[in-house]
Every structure is written in C-alpha cells, then in structure tokens.
Structure 1
C-alpha cells in the first residue's frame, strides 16, 4: 500500500488528476452513488438538458472493477505519465491542450458513431501519440510479439478484436491520435506548413510554471545602501 501511495505522490499533476478522476468515478459507481446511466456521453442530454458533466464523466468510466478496468488503467497511467514526463516535460499547458483537442475530436466523432464511453479510446490516443514520438523503442507484448513502438496501437486493436471487443473504440483512438500527431508534429515541418495548434494563452497562464519576476533593486527589502553610509569620525 505504501508503494502505491509513494508512486501516487510523485505522479506529475495532469496524470495524477486524470487517473484520480477515473478511479473515483469507478468507485462511485461500485458504491452505487451514481450509475453508468448518469455518466455516458449523450449529446442530446448535454445540449437540451444541460447535463454538461457528461463531457467529463464519459472519459473517466472504464467499467466495473475487473481485468478490463485494470488493463485500461495501467495503459492509461503508463502512457499518460510517459508523455507528461517525456515530450511534454515542462509544457503542462500544451499537454492539457492535447487533452482538450483529443476530447473534442472524440466527442464530435461519437455523435456520429453513437459511442457512449470514450475513456478507452482516449487511452489509445495517448498510446498513439507516445508511440509516434518514440519510433525506435522496441516493444514486447506479453512476451509473444516484438515490434517497434509505432505498431503498438495496431497490436492493441488486434488484441481487442481477438477478445471480441468493439474495435471501433480502438480505431477512434488511433484516428484522433493521428489527427493530433499530424497537425502538431508533421504538418508544421512540411514545406509550406505552419503550426496550427497554438496553445491558448489562458492555458499557459494557468498551467505553465512561470519564473518569478525580478524585483527592482530599490524595491528590495533592506534597501539601505551601506556603501554610501557616512562615516563618522
């Protein structure tokens, strides 16, 4: 238990916040404080009945406690952590902006494909972005398959297919991850390309660490200039 608390205490803030939200949501369902019917994504209920919490809860519920929940939470924690401490180190605002954009991509898609819970697809999106930014890392899947990182999302999709799960979830995560990766990492580097996904200033103000502004010398405490003090004889 202590090792879990220690690991939790050293999590970077965005990973800790999202992981906590996922676990607490599942615990609330297990204890019957809420039901999945209060959490799923439904555009009509959001727009016509003002149930805006569904914009968040649909990303935080991974089903009841069991193998699927543990599997998804391990992947969610691992790749969210590696992104925040890797390519997004020192760029918390950019990381939050990726969360927002990925969520928007998925919600727009979910309206058309009638997907109710988006957390698993969001996890696959995190995996995809990490995998594309670490193309030379070798992966080993259950000591059966060995491959480079960019193939990992497709291996997970195949694994879902073998388990009889809805592969549309994985495909949506891959599609949203690729859209973000292309707009952020590929298009700006192409001839005639430009950076489209500029992080809003408000996010930078809220999440990025800022260096303290230097205090003018005359405003510093203890400002008596001893060098100019008169010398009494």
Structure 2
C-alpha cells in the first residue's frame, strides 16, 4: 500500500504536486485551528487596500474543509491538472499561464466578489482551457464540445435566477477562454506568444 501511494505521488508533475501539497497543508492547518477560517476568505479590498495579502495565498490553496468531499475534489483536480501539465512542454510556461489566470481573476475580483476561492476558480479555468484546447484538436468530433457548451450555458442561464453578477459567473470560464485565445489563437495568427514567460520573449525573437 505504501509503495502504491509513493508511486502515485511520484507520477504527479512538480507544479501540480506542489499545489496539491499546499491545499492539503492549508486544510490540515485550518482543521487544527492554526489558521483562522475567516483569514482564508479572499476579498479584493481587504487584500490590497487593507494590506492583508495573505488572503491571496490562502485563497489560492483553499479547497474547503478537510473531509471526504474535499479530498475527492483534490484527487480529481490533481488527476486533471497532471494531464494538463504533462501536455505543456515547459514547467515555466505552465507556471506563467497560472500566473496570468491568477492576475485576471484578481483584476475581475475588484468589481465582484468571487463565489468561491481563487484556487477553485483557478482550477475551473485551467479545466476550461484544457477542454477548449481538446476541442480544437478534435474538430471532427463535434460531441466533444457538448459538455463544455452545456456547462457555460448553464452558468449564463442561471445568471438572472441566482442574483449573482455576470462577472461572478463568468469568472469560472472567461479567464480560461482568454488564456486559450492567447495561447492557441493569437500566437498562430500574430506570431506573438504571451503565454511564454517574459524571460523567453526576447530569446524567441532572436531565434
């Protein structure tokens, strides 16, 4: 059993493994009451106007209380993110894409309070990006796009009924769609790849 767990952990890519370890650590520290639940709640004004920057870090690794549901959530997320990370050539590119998504989410949160933690929103947008990219790679298989279209449509149709703002609802997929545009569309049309980390921009031009 121990060997199985070690092999499973060993197969997880570095960035995803670090994120998973962070979420578990935050959950354990919260359960042990070493971290106040209220300090994990992210709010733009509290974080950036009151100088409570730790809320950003806590929220990026916040997956709720440590229980069977959150544990299953983390396991499924790790499986999906591992698949995405291994499909991206360089870890620096993956980290930069995560940074871009986080920045977009934080900017949007200036105008609307997120409905879930930054970590959960970040995962939702990375999952959207992967599904959108898979759709592009399988254009001849129309059925692949159905779950993604239904998911986005359900969120938008829920907008007038649930009294959430449009920004709050689109936080779950709009940043991921922008990332897809930058990585898969803009880079091909304009030969500008903003999903490469800044350290590679000039190197790429010289090449």
- Alpha-carbon distance change, 193 to 201 in structure 1, aligned in 2, over 3 angstroms: closer
Q: Which residue of 2 aligns with 1:144?
A: none
| Structure with the higher helix share, 1 or 2 | 2
Compare 121-130 and 168-177 and name the one that shifted more: 168-177
Matches within 5 A, 1:181-196: 181-190=180-189, 192=190, 194-196=192-194
Do residues 22 (structure 1) and 23 (structure 2) align? yes
Q: Which residue of 2 aligns with 1:74?
A: 75
Q: Which residue of 2 aligns with 1:11?
A: 12
Q: Structure 2: any 5+ residue segments left out of the alignment? A: 201-207
- Are the aligned partners of 1:102 and 1:177 in contact in 2 as well (CA < 8 Å)? yes
Q: Which residue of 2 aligns with 1:104?
A: 103
Matches within 5 A, 1:1-233: 1-2=1-2, 3-66=4-67, 68-86=69-87, 88-89=88-89, 91-115=90-114, 117-135=117-135, 136=138, 147-148=143-144, 150-155=145-150, 158=154, 171-190=170-189, 192=190, 194-201=192-199
Distance 1:94 1:84 in 2: 10
Name the SS for the 2:181 alignment partner: helix
Question: After superposition, what is the alpha-carbon deviation per residue over 1:155-214, rounded to whole angstroms, capped at 9, x for unaligned?
Answer: 55659x7xx9x8976641211100000011112223x56333441218xxxxxxxxxxxx
Q: Structure 1: any 5+ residue segments left out of the alignment? A: 138-146, 203-233
| Residue 40 of structure 1: how far off its partner (Å) | 1.8
Q: Which residue of 1 aligns with 2:203?
A: none
State which structure, 1 or 2, has the greater radius of gyration over its C-alpha atoms. 1
Name the SS for the 1:111 alignment partner: coil
| Residue 22 of structure 1: how far off its partner (Å) | 0.9
Q: Which residue of 2 aligns with 1:212?
A: none
Distance 1:181 1:26 in 2: 31
Distance 2:109 2:55 in 1: 13
| Residue 14 of structure 1: how far off its partner (Å) | 0.3
Distance 2:188 2:49 in 1: 42
**Which gives a bigger RCO, structure 1 or 2 (Cα 8 Å, sep 6+)?**
2
| Residue 57 of structure 1: how far off its partner (Å) | 1.3
